[in-house]
Amino acid sequence: MTGSDKTQGLAGRRLLLCVGGGIAAYKALELVRRLRDAGAQVQVAMTAGAQQFVTPLSFQALSGHPTRTSLWDSAAEQAMGHIELARWADQVIVAPATADLMARLAHGLADDLVTTLCLATTAPVMIAPAMNHRMWEHPATQGNLATLRGRGVRVVGPNDGPLAEGESGPGRLAEPGEIVAALANHADDAPSVPQDLAGLKVVVSAGPTYEDLDPVRYLGNRSSGKMGFAVAASAAKRGAAVTLVAGPVHLPTPAGVTRVDVRSAAQMHQAVFAALPADVYIGAAAVADYTPRVPAADKIKKSSESLALDLVRTPDILAEVAAQTQALKLVVGFAAETNNVAEYARKKLEAKRLDMIVANRVGIADGGFESDRNAMTAYWKEGERSFASAPKTQLADELIDLIVERLNA
């Protein structure tokens, strides 16, 4: 088995890492890096003790998500409540699991964020204990271990060897590679992708539009359709009935998605409205704002030094969908911005009367049009959420998480 084979099961998994307050907490940083390399999404929660050893900022930088440290952080709770976070996880890993944390988990306490998350989740929990070897061998700890195992909690480590206090024995945190392998081995234990969009119809637009000038030339743009196709695939995986209205792109149709191919903004407008009614509309297409008033019937000849094109505005599909009298549950637009992202995005949110707008940070080295990766920030009336640079497939899953949250808000 190769290294990547060993971690294959983690691609796309949503892992909640709960960090306990032991010296081995620093190894949890490397764990986050390896889990992300394996394609997992990682969110981190820390006990108060853990924050004495490693800063939340370090985990934030590595995971790409704000680190959760308290039950009483109202800003963090507004973005994603702790119960939602517990529900979000496919797997929970507690590393390092200290003697105290194991005792609190065994007794079902919920006196801080980490214990509350472990009690509230239905996802499989794995612990990676780390402590002094006498604490590990103490009958109290071994009793707690047996209780946790009896409830189906998986255990990785601890390893035998030199400990932080200069002693030696069983109590060393398992190496990050071992923890990743153990999680990958048990990835199948995790519940399958939640079907939280079951029963809902989602319409997604993707790709560019081509506005014909004459039989050989057109006005187009650089959209590849990758972002919109990823969003459609993710919504379908979560149980939605998805219609994908695709501009001219060279991408395979995602599993379980009904695809309608179009070329121009007018055709996209027609196809989107033909796909309604729906519960959710996600406009990821880069629709042309202007189209020739009358496309030339024959090839335009080179006759003078300059050529003026007579263009007219295309219909704003997104704004018209949002203005539907038969209201959708959620209308989400996209916007490509290089600067003043929050200001421009919020203006579009308001002007087009959307429920949410997702602004791409275009102009960065690795993202926006054509790239397999992107970075973006979603804005809605009362909040916003940033998505760090990641593959578009992963961002699509994270965006669908947010859409589910907003639908339930």
401 marked as part of a ligand binding site: no
What distances in angstroms separate CA 57 from CA 35, 80, 97, 308, one per listed residue?
Answer: 18, 18, 20, 54
Cβ closest to ligand PMT, residue 43 vs residue 314: 314
Pairing type for strands 280-283 and 330-337 reads parallel
Site string for ligand PMT, 297-336 (x = CB under 6 A): -----------------x-xxx--------------xxxx
366 marked as part of a ligand binding site: no
Q: How far is the CB of 259 from ligand PMT (least distance, A)?
A: 15
Cβ closest to ligand PMT, residue 19 vs residue 265: 265
348 marked as part of a ligand binding site: yes
Q: Give the residue, chosen from 26, 53, 273, 369, that forms a contact with ligand PMT under the rule CB under 6 A.
A: 369
Q: Is 223 in the site for ligand PMT (CB under 6 A)?
A: yes
Q: Which long-range contacts (CB under 8 A, 24 or more apart) does 305-314 make?
A: 309/213, 313/289, 314/209, 314/211, 314/265, 314/266, 314/269, 314/287, 314/288, 314/289, 314/290
Cβ closest to ligand PMT, residue 26 vs residue 344: 344
Site string for ligand PMT, 197-216 (x = CB under 6 A): --------x-x---------
Q: Is 286 in the site for ligand PMT (CB under 6 A)?
A: yes
> By CB under 6 A, which span of 68-76, 167-175, 192-200, 281-289 interacts with ligand PMT?
281-289
| Radius of gyration of the CA atoms of the chain, in A | 25
Site size toward ligand PMT (CB under 6 A) is 27
Q: Is 368 in the site for ligand PMT (CB under 6 A)?
A: yes
Q: Is 284 in the site for ligand PMT (CB under 6 A)?
A: yes
Q: Is 254 in the site for ligand PMT (CB under 6 A)?
A: no
> By CB under 6 A, which span of 78-86, 148-156, 223-231, 380-388 interacts with ligand PMT?
223-231
What distances in angstroms separate CA 386 from CA 235, 339, 360, 379, 380, one per listed residue?
Answer: 20, 15, 10, 9, 12
Active site residues: 221
Tokens linked to 317:
């599909």
Q: Give the residue, chosen from 54, 94, 265, 378, that forms a contact with ligand PMT under the rule CB under 6 A.
A: 265
C-alpha to C-alpha distance for 92 and 118, rounded to whole angstroms = 8
Cβ closest to ligand PMT, residue 118 vs residue 336: 336
Helix axes 99-106, 113-120, angle to 10 degrees: 40
Contact yes or no for 35/8 (Cβ under 8 A): no
214 marked as part of a ligand binding site: no
Q: How far is the CB of 53 from ligand PMT (least distance, A)?
A: 39
What distances in angstroms separate CA 189 from CA 9, 57, 348, one per listed residue?
Answer: 11, 31, 43
> By CB under 6 A, which span of 110-118, 124-132, 302-310, 366-374 interacts with ligand PMT?
366-374
Cβ closest to ligand PMT, residue 126 vs residue 336: 336
Q: What are phi and psi of 52, to 5 degrees?
A: -75, -20
C-alpha to C-alpha distance for 170 and 320, rounded to whole angstroms = 65
C-alpha to C-alpha distance for 133 and 55, rounded to whole angstroms = 26
C-alpha to C-alpha distance for 76 and 200, rounded to whole angstroms = 28
357 marked as part of a ligand binding site: no
Cβ closest to ligand PMT, residue 105 vs residue 285: 285
Contact yes or no for 62/366 (Cβ under 8 A): no
What distances in angstroms separate CA 83 from CA 76, 238, 394, 395, one per listed residue?
Answer: 12, 19, 22, 22
Q: Is 242 in the site for ligand PMT (CB under 6 A)?
A: no
317 marked as part of a ligand binding site: yes
Contact yes or no for 148/155 (Cβ under 8 A): yes
83 marked as part of a ligand binding site: no
Binders of ligand PMT among 168-197, rule CB under 6 A?
none
Helix axes 392-408, 226-237, angle to 10 degrees: 50
3 state DSSP class of 67: coil
> By CB under 6 A, which span of 37-45, 131-139, 285-293, 297-305 interacts with ligand PMT?
285-293
Q: Is 370 in the site for ligand PMT (CB under 6 A)?
A: yes
Q: What are phi and psi of 134, to 5 degrees?
A: -70, -35
Cβ-based neighbours of 247, under 8 Å, separated by 6 or more: 205, 206, 207, 208, 209, 210, 223, 225, 262, 263, 268, 285, 286
Q: How far is the CB of 29 from ligand PMT (least distance, A)?
A: 31
- Binding site membership for CTP: which residues? 289, 299, 315-318, 334, 348, 352
Q: Which residues would be at the binding site for ligand PMT (CB under 6 A)?
A: 205, 207, 223-227, 265, 283-287, 289, 314, 316-318, 333-336, 348, 360, 368-370
- Binding site membership: which residues? 289, 299, 315-318, 334, 348, 352
